[in-house]
């Protein structure tokens, strides 16, 4: 074998392959405060591309809390919490999350991604089984791989598939863990949570639900899908992020006091990493308080969601009415996805929307199985923002029709 070529040259070829498939991604620069309208390349655009569902990331209550915490506690946490200690703020945030979720305790991680990696790999190992929804988030999938457990995917949302796998496989393993997003971020639909919990009880399985997109959004108090489905208090492990509706950065796990105590001793992605910064911690705490003190935010969000649910199918040229390459995927949330026939089409659609002042994400494989335009609604979108979306989207879709 000859090693004369540059050992890094394959990277250039790999990039070319990505370009050829229309899978290449690049990042857009956003200026100014986050919100329903943001500046892209100096031009204001209506923002349907964020996960800031309640518009809290640019909210003065969070900004002031972050500034105050920085002035009192400094910018960094200076080390892992077990080695360098933590701030009372960290525990306050954990207790506020536990209160929101009605669990005994909670633990805050540096990100939701790290919460999943650390928790899954602490809960199961080589002798164990994981059953995972095929559309689960990357952090659940990679947590499963890291754990070394046998991981079997079930068809998206199919309880019968989970049951069949449990009947076939459960006896051969020590522990079993069922993993699912509660609100699927690239589709907008919900997992069949009550049925999954019943199956888990019957087959002695643990369940970990990822409430990343549901926290602050779903349920009468914004506690998430567990609350939405009336499953509060049932045995399960809830994780989520502080970075979406809560407008900050970080992740959490909520559950029994024993679970949280165990994770503090066994979750490597919590033990061996620096604690959340004072600013992020204080902003998230202010967000949890805002959720409780300002329920109108969520009411406004759902008002906007219901309006779009009614209006999109009426106004757009979609496949249900006439033959069309565009399908609106079923959604029960502020996430609306318009499935499109190819990566090139969705990129064109994204570009023409942007030219007309609408910022929406064009999502392609390998993130999702089929290309789609993903639109997220915010509490702070005005009726005129939503009307502009409809007008622009309608005309862009008509231009793309054969």
Ligand X SMILES: *Cc1c(COP(=O)(O)O)cnc(C)c1O
Provide the binding-site residues for ligand X, judged by CB under 6 A: 111-113, 116, 137, 139, 181, 185, 210, 212-213, 241, 243, 251
Beta-bridge mates of residue 373: 338, 362
Residues 6+ apart with CB under 8 A from 22: 342, 343, 344, 347, 364
Instruction: Give the Cα separation of 295 and 267 in Å (integer).
Output: 34
Question: CB of residue 137 vs ligand X: minimum separation in angstroms?
Answer: 3
Question: CB of residue 240 vs ligand X: minimum separation in angstroms?
Answer: 8
Instruction: Give the Cα separation of 359 and 50 in Å (integer).
Output: 9
Instruction: Give the Cα separation of 284 and 290 in Å (integer).
Output: 10
At how many degrees (to 10) do helices 193-202 and 159-169 cross?
10
Question: CB of residue 183 vs ligand X: minimum separation in angstroms?
Answer: 8
Question: Is 388 in contact with 57 (CB distance < 8 Å)?
Answer: no
Question: Is 67 in contact with 57 (CB distance < 8 Å)?
Answer: no
Closer by beta carbon to ligand X, 166 or else 363: 363
Most distant CA atoms of the chain, gap in Å:
68
- Position with the least CB separation from ligand X: 112
Closer by beta carbon to ligand X, 146 or else 400: 146
Question: CB of residue 141 vs ligand X: minimum separation in angstroms?
Answer: 10
Question: Is 236 in contact with 209 (CB distance < 8 Å)?
Answer: yes
Question: Is 247 in contact with 280 (CB distance < 8 Å)?
Answer: no
Closer by beta carbon to ligand X, 53 or else 203: 53
Instruction: Give the Cα separation of 5 and 235 in Å (integer).
Output: 56
Closer by beta carbon to ligand X, 94 or else 210: 210
Closer by beta carbon to ligand X, 212 or else 393: 212
Beta-bridge mates of residue 237: 208
Question: CB of residue 337 vs ligand X: minimum separation in angstroms?
Answer: 14
Instruction: Give the Cα separation of 22 and 127 in Å (integer).
Output: 41
- Name the strands in the sheet holding 43-47, side by side, starting at the edge strand that comes first in the sequence: 30-31, 37-40, 43-47, 358-359
Question: CB of residue 116 vs ligand X: minimum separation in angstroms?
Answer: 6
Instruction: Give the Cα separation of 322 and 402 in Å (integer).
Output: 13
* Torsion of the alpha carbons at 80, 86, 89 and 94, rounded to the nearest 10: 70
φ and ψ of 141, to 5 deg: -65, -45
Closer by beta carbon to ligand X, 143 or else 203: 143
Closer by beta carbon to ligand X, 81 or else 137: 137
Question: CB of residue 395 vs ligand X: minimum separation in angstroms?
Answer: 31
10 Å Cβ neighbour count for 242?
31
Question: CB of residue 182 vs ligand X: minimum separation in angstroms?
Answer: 9
Closer by beta carbon to ligand X, 274 or else 388: 274
Question: CB of residue 250 vs ligand X: minimum separation in angstroms?
Answer: 6
Question: Is 363 in contact with 218 (CB distance < 8 Å)?
Answer: no
Closer by beta carbon to ligand X, 110 or else 392: 110
Question: CB of residue 9 vs ligand X: minimum separation in angstroms?
Answer: 33
Closer by beta carbon to ligand X, 116 or else 290: 116
């Amino acid at each position: 074998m000859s090693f004369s070529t540059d050992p890094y040259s394959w990277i250039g070829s790999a990039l070319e392959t990505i370009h050829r498939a229309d899978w290449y991604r690049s990042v857009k620069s956003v200026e100014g405060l986050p919100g329903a309208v943001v500046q892209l390349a100096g031009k204001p655009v209506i923002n349907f591309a964020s996960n800031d569902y309640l518009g809290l990331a640019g909210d003065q209550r969070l900004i002031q809390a972050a500034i105050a915490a920085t002035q009192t506690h400094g910018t960094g946490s200076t080390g892992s919490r077990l080695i360098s200690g933590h701030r009372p703020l960290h525990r306050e945030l954990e207790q506020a999350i536990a209160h929101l979720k009605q669990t005994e305790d909670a633990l805050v991680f540096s990100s939701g991604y790290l919460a999943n990696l650390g928790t899954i790999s602490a809960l199961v190992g080589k002798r164990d089984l994981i059953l995972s929804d095929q559309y689960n988030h990357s952090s659940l999938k990679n947590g499963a791989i890291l754990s070394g457990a046998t991981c079997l995917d079930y068809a998206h949302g199919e309880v019968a598939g989970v049951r069949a796998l449990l009947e076939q496989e459960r006896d051969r393993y020590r522990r079993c863990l069922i993993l699912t997003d509660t609100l699927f971020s690239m589709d907008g639909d919900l997992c069949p949570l009550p049925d999954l919990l019943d199956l888990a009880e019957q087959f002695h399985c643990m369940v970990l639900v990822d409430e990343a997109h549901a926290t602050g959004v779903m349920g009468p108090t914004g506690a998430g899908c567990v609350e939405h489905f009336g499953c509060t208090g049932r045995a399960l492990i809830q994780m989520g992020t502080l970075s979406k509706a809560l407008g900050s950065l970080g992740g959490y796990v909520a559950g029994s006091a024993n679970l949280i105590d165990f994770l503090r001793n066994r979750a490597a992605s919590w033990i061996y990493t620096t604690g959340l910064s004072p600013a992020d911690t204080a902003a998230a705490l202010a967000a949890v308080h805002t959720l409780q003190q300002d329920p109108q935010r969520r009411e406004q969000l759902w008002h906007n969601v219901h309006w779009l649910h009614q209006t999109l199918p009426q106004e757009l040229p979609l496949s249900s009415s006439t033959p069309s390459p565009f399908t609106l995927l079923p959604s029960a949330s502020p996430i609306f996805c318009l499935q499109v026939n190819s990566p090139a089409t969705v990129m064109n659609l994204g570009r023409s929307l942007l030219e007309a002042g609408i910022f929406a994400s064009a999502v392609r494989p390998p993130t999702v199985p089929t290309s789609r335009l993903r639109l997220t609604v915010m509490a702070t979108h005005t009726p005129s923002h939503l009307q502009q979306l409809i007008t622009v989207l309608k005309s862009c879709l008509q231009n793309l029709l054969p």
